[in-house]
Amino acid sequence: MPYSRDAMYSTPAPAPTEAISARDEYYCHSINGQPQIKHFRDDYKYLEGTSSFYKIHTIQKTWEHAKKRCALEGATLFYPEDQNEVDVVLAYLKDTQPKFAWVYVGISSKLAKGVFTTVDGVAIRNIYNKWGHGEPNDANGEEDCVILRKDGSYNDEKCSNKFPFICKKTLQSLKWNEECNTPYLDYSYNVDLGRCYKFHLHPLTWRQAVEACDAEQAYLAIVNSQQEADYLVNITASAPKDKVQGGYLRGAVHLGFNYDTTEDDWRTTTGETLERAGYAAWGNHQPDGGENERCGSMFYNGHLNDIACEAHRCFFICEKENELLSLFDDRFGT
Ligand SMILES: [Ca+2]
Ligand SMILES: [Ca+2]
Ligand SMILES: [Ca+2]
């Protein structure tokens, strides 16, 4: 659901008038969101030549993981629409990462050998379509993923090879969540806790959940009070979980704590003991998994549970500060 302008006004304003006016002033300037100032995320660069944002990923990944990572960031594994975009993006690549000789692009022949389509299903003949000499050659019958070389030509490569890649977000597709100051629309602001949360309905393993929250510039939720635990129980109860099909572990949601073997104790992902973080209410007989359950979760009733880090997929909750509101809070002591 797109963020509604009205929702902002439902946030009760704090008492000091100075704070109210400063916030109001901020909101007035940004009421139509970040698309107007052409900002998606700090790690994406806006290129006027194509009216789009790009991020060059320097941690090399397989083609599938590259595609997934871009999707987690709310973007798409880049492929060039036309010669202009090839020129603009390769110039940016040469400028910022001169050592990279090529990048993965969002084109593969995974559907059928020799049929090259983009990650969003467009046939390669309808976009930029310039292969290197003798390519595609499907060497050893195992080259189904495409790289773009610095000279602007494509080559098919083995999908399991790890290469740098670029994620792309068009300005046109950018929407802004004012309440949480983020491009991710499904975060909602809790005024009592002063934080934003998203209940993820695509079950992932604990480690994948850590990555998914990070990709949204958030973190796997950390419970800092009984009040926050109650809120997480509420959003878990109201999430439409029953509609989600498939094999995943029901009854628990991943949270941001795990077993620290150096400390020989449980720690939040920010390194605090659970007691110090503010919430350590374990479920009955938990933790009970020993070495098989070294990661953290919460039963739907709010009690903590140790869980396998990679064996089971579960729902999970991401949490983020609204840096902008915290800035005001610091400044005005509200
Ligand atoms: Ca090849
Ligand atoms: Ca928290
Ligand atoms: Ca357990």
CA of 288 relative to ligand 3 center, distance in Å:
5
Please classify residue 285 by burial: count the beta carbons closer than 10 Å to its beta carbon, then call 0-12 exposed, 13-18 middle and 19+ buried.
exposed
pLDDT at 322: 78
**pLDDT tens per residue across all 334 residues of the chain:** 344 433 333 444 444 444 444 554 454 444 456 888 899 999 999 999 999 999 999 999 999 999 999 999 999 999 999 999 999 999 999 999 999 999 999 999 999 999 999 999 999 999 999 999 999 999 999 999 999 999 999 999 999 999 999 999 999 999 999 999 999 999 999 999 999 999 999 999 999 999 999 999 999 999 999 999 999 999 999 999 999 998 999 999 999 999 999 999 999 999 999 999 999 999 999 999 999 999 999 999 999 999 999 999 999 999 998 766 555 554 444 4
Report yes or no on 27 lying in a domain: no
Number of the ligand closest to the Cα of 307? 3
Whole-prediction pTM:
0.85
Report yes or no on 80 lying in a domain: yes
CA of 320 relative to ligand 2 center, distance in Å:
8
Report yes or no on 300 lying in a domain: yes
How far is Cα 95 from Cα 98, in angstroms, rounded to an integer? 6
The verdict on 212 and 104 lying in the same domain is no
Report yes or no on 181 lying in a domain: no
pLDDT at 37: 87
Number of the ligand closest to the Cα of 284? 3
Number of the ligand closest to the Cα of 294? 3
The verdict on 281 and 218 lying in the same domain is yes
How far is Cα 165 from Cα 101, in angstroms, rounded to an integer? 11
pLDDT at 222: 98
Number of the ligand closest to the Cα of 227? 2
pLDDT at 1: 39
Number of the ligand closest to the Cα of 297? 3
CA of 74 relative to ligand 3 center, distance in Å:
32
The verdict on 163 and 195 lying in the same domain is no
CA of 145 relative to ligand 1 center, distance in Å:
9
Which of 170, 196, 222 lies at the terminal end of a domain, its last residue? 170
Instruction: For residue 319, give the nearest of 276, 287, 277, 266 by alpha carbon.
Output: 277
pLDDT at 3: 40
- Residues in contact with 34: Cβ distance below 8 Å, sequence separation at least 6, in sequence order: 40, 174, 176, 183
Number of the ligand closest to the Cα of 252? 3
The verdict on 194 and 139 lying in the same domain is no
CA of 89 relative to ligand 2 center, distance in Å:
39
For residue 92, give the CATH number of its domain: 3.10.100.10
How many structural domains comprise the chain? 2
CA of 318 relative to ligand 2 center, distance in Å:
9
How far is Cα 100 from Cα 225, in angstroms, rounded to an integer? 47
What is the three-class DSSP state of 115?
A: strand
What is the three-class DSSP state of 222?
A: coil
CA of 215 relative to ligand 3 center, distance in Å:
27
Number of the ligand closest to the Cα of 102? 1
CA of 174 relative to ligand 1 center, distance in Å:
35
Number of the ligand closest to the Cα of 282? 3
Which of 135, 170, 205 lies at the terminal end of a domain, its last residue? 170
Number of the ligand closest to the Cα of 109? 1
Residue 125, domain extent:
45-170
CA of 144 relative to ligand 1 center, distance in Å:
9
Report yes or no on 16 lying in a domain: no
CA of 312 relative to ligand 3 center, distance in Å:
12
CA of 306 relative to ligand 3 center, distance in Å:
4
What is the three-class DSSP state of 249?
A: coil
